[in-house]
Amino acid sequence: MRLFGRNKPNAEAPAAQRRFQALGQRAIDGDGVLAPHAQKAAIGRGEVLKAVATLNKYKEGKANLEQKIIDNEQWYKLRHWECMRKSNQQKDEVEPSSAWLFNSIANKHADAMDNYPSPNVLPREEGDKGEAEMLTSISPVILDQNDFEEVYSDEQNYKLKTGCGAYGVFWDKTKLSGLGDISIQKIDLINLFWEPGIMDIQRSRNVFHVELMDNDLLIAAYPQLANQLGGSSVDVSRYVQDDTVSTEEKSAVVDWYYKRSANGKTVLHYCKFVGDVVLFSTENDPAFATRGLYDHGLYPFIIDPLYKIEGTIAGFGFVDISKDAQGYIDRGNQAIMKNMLSNTKPRYFVRTDGGVKEEEYADMTKDFVHTDGNLGQDDILPIQGKPLSEIYVQVINNKIDELKETSGNRDVSTGGTTGGVTAASGLAAMMEAGSKLSRDNNKGSYRAYKRICEMIIELIRQFYTLPRKFRILGEDGTRRYIAYSNANIRPQPQGEEFGRDLGYRLPLFDVEVTAQKQSPYSKMAQNELALQFYKSGFFNPQLADQALACLDMMDFDRKHFIMQKIQQNGTMYHQLLATQRQVVALAALLDKQNGTRYAEKFAAQMGGQPTVQGGAPGASLEDVEALGGKEGAKESHVTKNVRERVAESTSPT
């Protein structure tokens, strides 16, 4: 899962069992007996009991958050009547569930996936440029191997519902047949516990991640747990599920992360325990006692809030914003539906002393209804229903509009026509303007994505000691197969100067995040901008200086790439002009000596005899005469050497 050990997991064991074996193989030896260093543990039963007490305090601090997450999931599943229903309310009443809130969340999720991020690693020093390019190429491969697009989709959905998402970036020793690799997972906040009152998880003194595991798998991986699994001092909240989920044969496995300060450096330690039994501890293992779990010293959890709240890590989401309006919409629909049903179903007043057989009267299949005695006018009277005013429908529509406005899910942002605008370009512009809330939310997701990529680089720096093979795509779309290790990004010695050690240099990198999959409008706008540049002559090499001056005042995505291309084209153009003048000049020398006409032919092939100001490649006759050795003209040393060699080769002696 996240730790690494001496032995590879048993290939014949089930996948889950191999996972537990990999986690515990440093805490126990091959016979399932505690290793010698574990008997002198720095982390033992007493420390674990203190950690459990801290965990329970953290759980009390986030009890309201856990209940909100569970309720918001019910709202998302259109099961919110279970949250709104009063205890004395009849369960057979009409309970319509409209999906306005669900549609709002679904549209925000679609916006997020339309702008799926992509990393670009930038060096902080010129000498690390090659490594930055390699990291830019292999980072998407590592993400793809973790099915990160699905992880990103699940996290975005969770974030929109609960107001806060979370990722876990770990080193998984069981990957690649024991070689190990990076693992990226979506984390459920119900299973994650931190210090209450903080806004940055890295400032928490402890972080706990709790997960329920099957007892038989735990005992198979950790034999010392036999006869010790039963009641748990840690209780994990659960969602309201349609399936019956039993937890009788499961135990809470706790991953405890905490930080220590050693030699002016923050060291991240880790302990895995069940109940009061330590399964693994970095402080108990000499290989990690001073180094810690990860060299970067950070908790391997990245929090991604939607709308931040002061004094807490978690934020609030669209369910919190819109469930009040959604509740009134459904209550209004309930009243209208009840009125409709009461008016469409016939009801009657019946006298208690009347002689009508009520069962026969209510049975529409009977042609005859028997009565006792004479039938009076008032023995049975139909109940007249009262239709509702249209004002109530208008109130519900106003609530629907309120939900759309508060959630930023207006018709224009979903492609609807408003304001009489029918032109495609006008609709596209309105959709782009209406999606500014989604763009703002995506920027928050990009910040979390940036931290994920930075953590990936740090794990590569620590664990990629052996070369790994990657298949990447070059800029021209061709496939390349490369091998990469951490040899060039580890701390590098800088030697000695005047007998003093200069220490180590650590290559550092910045991560720039861009949208890999842009929205259709963004693609159309970029394509239209490129066509405008082409029509304006920006890609004409002789106008490179003017184009660069204009682009310097503009702001759009990948501007530096366009400016670099135009600058390269301008440089190549001037180099080509200089080369062509040299060729024509040399041809003119040959023509003077041999009576040939190569200069005119070359000039014609190169575009005639235009001047530099004309813009096309070529050389004028004045240039040819000047470079051809005209008296008083300045001649380059290259031309002079070539002219002398030609003269010697054509000399009769």
3-state DSSP assignment of residue 549:
helix
Q: Are residues 134 and 67 in the same domain?
A: no
- Looking at residue 209, its pLDDT comes to 94
291 domain-assigned = yes
Q: Are residues 469 and 588 in the same domain?
A: no
Q: Are residues 582 and 522 in the same domain?
A: no
Question: Which of 240-254, 384-398, 416-430 bottoms out in mean pLDDT, i.e. has the lowest?
Answer: 416-430
Q: Are residues 643 and 627 in the same domain?
A: yes
Q: What end-to-end distance do the CA atoms of the chain give, in Å? A: 86
Q: What angle do CA 120, 124, 128 make, to 5 degrees?
A: 80
- Looking at residue 321, its pLDDT comes to 84
Q: Which of 535, 561, 578 is the last residue of a domain?
A: 535
550 domain-assigned = no
Q: Are residues 57 and 189 in the same domain?
A: yes
Q: Are residues 612 and 636 in the same domain?
A: yes
The residue range of the domain holding 591 is 570-650
377 domain-assigned = no
- Looking at residue 412, its pLDDT comes to 62
Q: CA 25 to CA 5: how far, in whole Å?
A: 6
Half-sphere exposure of 108 (CA within 13 A, CB side): 31
Residue 20 or 68, more confident: 68
Dihedral (CA of 349, 352, 355, 356) sign: positive
103 neighbors 321 (Cβ within 8 angstroms): no
Non-local (6+) Cβ contacts of 589 within 8 A are 628, 629, 639, 642, 643, 646
Amino acid at 439: R
pLDDT per position as a tens digit, 350-383? 777 777 777 777 778 887 777 777 777 767 777 6
Q: Which of 250, 284, 316 is the last residue of a domain?
A: 316
Among 254, 261, 259, CA closest to 211: 254
Question: Which of 287-296, 529-538, 633-642 bottoms out in mean pLDDT, i.e. has the lowest?
Answer: 633-642
Indicate whether 165 pLDDT > 70. Answer: yes
382 backbone dihedrals φ, ψ, rounded to 5°: -70, 145
State how beta strands 307-308 and 301-305 pair: unpaired
399 neighbors 325 (Cβ within 8 angstroms): yes
* Token pair for 527: 């394509």
Q: Are residues 429 and 485 in the same domain?
A: yes
Q: Are residues 528 and 621 in the same domain?
A: no
Q: What is the mean pLDDT of the chain?
A: 78
Strand-by-strand arrangement of the 206-214 sheet: 192-193, 206-214, 250-262, 265-274, 277-281
360 domain-assigned = no
Tally of domains within the chain = 3
386 domain-assigned = no
- Looking at residue 269, its pLDDT comes to 95
Helix 63-76 to helix 45-61 angle (10° resolution) is 60
Q: Are residues 147 and 197 in the same domain?
A: no
455 backbone dihedrals φ, ψ, rounded to 5°: -70, -35
Dump the DSSP string for 254-285.
EEEEEEEEETTEEEEEEEEEETTEEEEEGGGS
Q: Are residues 418 and 529 in the same domain?
A: yes
Q: CA 437 to CA 115: how far, in whole Å?
A: 13
Q: Which of 535, 555, 579 is the last residue of a domain?
A: 535
Q: Are residues 64 and 12 in the same domain?
A: yes
- Looking at residue 11, its pLDDT comes to 39
Non-local (6+) Cβ contacts of 169 within 8 A are 182, 183, 184, 300, 302, 452, 455, 456, 459
- Sort 569 into a burial class: Cβ within 10 Å, 0-12 / 13-18 / 19+: middle
Contacts 24+ apart (CB under 8 A), 559-568: 562/533, 562/538, 565/539, 566/538, 566/539
Q: CA 390 to CA 396: how far, in whole Å?
A: 10
pLDDT per position as a tens digit, 555-609? 776 777 788 888 888 888 888 888 888 888 888 888 888 878 777 777 777 664 4
Q: Are residues 226 and 296 in the same domain?
A: yes
Indicate whether 611 pLDDT > 80. Answer: no
Give the residue-averaged pLDDT of 327-331.
Answer: 84
39 domain-assigned = yes
14 domain-assigned = yes
Give the residue-averaged pLDDT of 466-492.
Answer: 84
* 3-state per-residue secondary structure call for 386-433: CCCCHHHHHHHHHHHHHHHHHHCCCHHHHCCCCCCCCCHHHHHHHHHH
* Token pair for 491: 């701390």
208 domain-assigned = yes
Confidence of residue 78 (pLDDT cuts 50, 70, 90): confident
pLDDT per position as a tens digit, 587-600? 888 888 887 877 77
Give the residue-averaged pLDDT of 268-283.
Answer: 92
Q: Where are the alpha helices (DSSP H) in 595-611?
A: 598-605
Confidence of residue 34 (pLDDT cuts 50, 70, 90): very low
